[in-house]
Amino acid sequence: QPPLPQRRSRSSEPTPRPNPTLPPPHTTQRARTLARRPAVIMRSVALLPLLGLGAAAFKAPARAAPARASPLRVTLDGASETDTLESVKATYDANVMNTYGRYNLAMAKGKGLNLWDLDGKEYLDFAAGISTCCLGHGHQGLATAVAEQMMQVHHVSNLYYIPQQAQLAEWLVSTSCADKAFFCNSGAEANEGAIKLLRRHAVNRGIAEPVIITAKQSFHGRTLATITATGQPKYQENFGPLVSGFRYVTYNDEAELAAMVKEINDAREAGSAEGLAGIMLEPLQGEGGIRPGEASFFQLARKLCDESGALLVADEVQTGMGRTGKLWGHEWTGVKPDVFTSAKALGGGVPIGAMLARGEAASVLGPGDHASTYGGNPLACAAALTVADEISKDDFAMLGQVTECGEALREGLREIAEKRPGVVKDVRGWGLITGIELSEDDAVPTAGAVVGKATERGLLLVPAGLKVVRFVPPLIATVADIKKALEIFDAALGDALAEAEA
C-alpha cells in the first residue's frame, strides 16, 4: 500500500463555512424582463423618439418561439416519463453541433456505480464520466454541499475573496508539494495556465522564443495551445497555424529527451532566440494508451530542467485526486514537479480545474497576468471540498481501497488474457486507471468494438486509442464491483471476437 499524504501544519484551521442564507433577493417581473435584454438595445429604443422615429422603425423580424419541452422527470427505477432516446436524438440533431461521436444512449439517473438510461436499463459505470465522477453518482454529501452552497452564494467572481476557494487551496497545498494554487474550470484551462506560466518564466530569464517539450501520444486539452502541446497529429489537423514553440519526444525515451534538450540549449548558446521554457508530461498517459511513466524518465526530466533553468510540469488532470492509488500521480515517479494541473475528479463531476506551483514558479504570475471569471467560484469549490473530505477520511483510507481494487482488476484482466492467447498484448496501469491493450492483429477487434459489446451487456468503458480499453470506475468501487465488471467484460470480449470472425 502506498505511503499516505502528509498534511502540512498550519498556524490556524480553515474558516468554517457559514450556514446558508435561504431567502433569494427580491426581484420584480419587470426587473427580470429588463435583465434579459441587452443594454445597448434598450438604449437604442430609448433614443428613437429623439430621432423622430416611431416604434415601427425598430421592429425585429417575426419568428415563432420554439415550443419549450417540459422538464425531464424520471421514475424511481430510472425510466423517463417524458422523453425517449429518439426524441432526445432528434432535439440534438436540430440544436447541438455535431462534434461528438456519441454512443446510442441517454442516461436518466445514477446512484453509486450504477446508471440507468431512459428505458430503465441499468449499467455498471466503469467510465465515470471519463475518470471524473470519483464519488460515483447521486452522492449524498456532494449533493448536499452543492445544494446548500447554491442557496447561499454560488458565484461572485474573483473581484472578491472567496472563503471556499481559500479552504480548497489550503487543502491542496497542505497535501502536496505545491505552495500556491490558481483555479479555473477545466483541465484544458489548467494546462493553458501552465503553458502561460512557463512562457512568462522563460521571458523573465531573457528567452525571447520559449520552447516547451511534450511527449508524443500525449493529451493536454482541446484549446489551440493545448492541442499543440498534445503530441498527436490527429487532434491538430485542420486547425493550423498551430501555436509555435513546442517540440515532441517519445514518452519514456530518455535518450531522445536528453538529445532534444541539448539541441535547444546548444542552439541558444549559438545565438538562437529560442530557449527551453519547460518540459510538460503526464505521469501516466491516458489518451495515449494508459502508459505509466518510468521513474528514471521523470528523474531525467527533473535533472534537465534544473540544469537549464526550466520548469517541469506534471499534467495530473486524469491521474490526480487519488485515481492512481496515490493522491497525485507524480508521486509514483519520485519527482516533484514545479507545476502540476488538476481537474476531472477534483470536483467529482462539477466543473473545476486547478494549476498548482511550488517555489519560484508559484510567484511567476502577478495581478493581470492570468484570470478566470468562474474559476474557484463558491459552488465548484464546495463540490471540491466535499471530494477532498471524502478522500481524507480515516487517514486517506480511500487510497488503500483504490490500490486494492486496481490490483484485483489487473489480475483479473491478466487471467482473461491467459484464456485467450494472441488476443491481449498487455495489461497496465496504476490504481483505478487501467488499460488492456488488444493485439494489433486485424482479426482482433478494436477497443471501440469491445466497448460497444460491453455497453450492450451493461458495462460502461472508454477506449484509450485504437486498441486499448480503459477502465476508470469511481474511486468508491469495491472488489465485488471489480469482479462483476470482469465477468461482463470477459463475455463482451467474447462477443466482439465472435463478431470479428463472422
pLDDT digits (tens, 9 = 90+) for 253-295: 999 999 999 999 999 999 999 999 999 999 999 999 999 999 9
Q: In this predicted structure, which of 40-44, 142-146, 174-178, 274-278 has the lowest mean pLDDT? A: 40-44
Task: Decide: residue 77, CB within 10 A, 0-12 exposed, 13-18 middle, 19+ buried.
Answer: exposed
Q: Dump pLDDT digits (tens) for 163-175.
A: 999 999 999 999 9
- Distance in angstroms (rounded) separating the CA atoms of residues 476 and 61: 54
Is residue 353 within 8 Å of 183, Cβ to Cβ? yes
Q: Residue 188's pLDDT band (boundaries 50, 70, 90)?
A: very high
- Residues 299, 300, 306, 310: what is their CA dihedral angle, to the nearest 10 degrees? -110
Alpha helix ranges (H) inside 177-289: 187-204, 224-229, 233-236, 254-269
**What average pLDDT does this structure show over 398-414?**
98
Q: What is the pLDDT of residue 502?
A: 80
Is residue 338 within 8 Å of 311, Cβ to Cβ? yes
Q: In this predicted structure, which of 7-21, 86-100, 226-240, 459-473 has the lowest mean pLDDT? A: 7-21
**What average pLDDT does this structure show over 44-65?**
42
- Distance in angstroms (rounded) separating the CA atoms of residues 376 and 275: 33
**What average pLDDT does this structure show over 187-214?**
98
| Category of 31 on φ-ψ map: left (φ > 0), alpha (ψ -120 to 50) or beta | alpha
Q: What is the pLDDT of residue 82?
A: 72
**What average pLDDT does this structure show over 398-418?**
98
Q: What is the pTM of this model?
A: 0.85
Q: What are phi and psi of 33, to 5 degrees?
A: -65, -45
Q: How far is CA 470 from CA 123, 331, 360, 489, in A?
A: 16, 22, 37, 11
Buried b (16+ CB within 10 A) or exposed e, 85-101: eeebeeeeeeeeeeeee
Q: What is the pLDDT of residue 68?
A: 52
Q: What are phi and psi of 251, to 5 degrees?
A: -60, 135
- The CA-CA-CA angle for residues 270, 274, 279, to 5°, reads 120
Is residue 434's pLDDT more than 90? yes
**What average pLDDT does this structure show over 460-486?**
98
Q: What is the pLDDT of residue 16?
A: 44
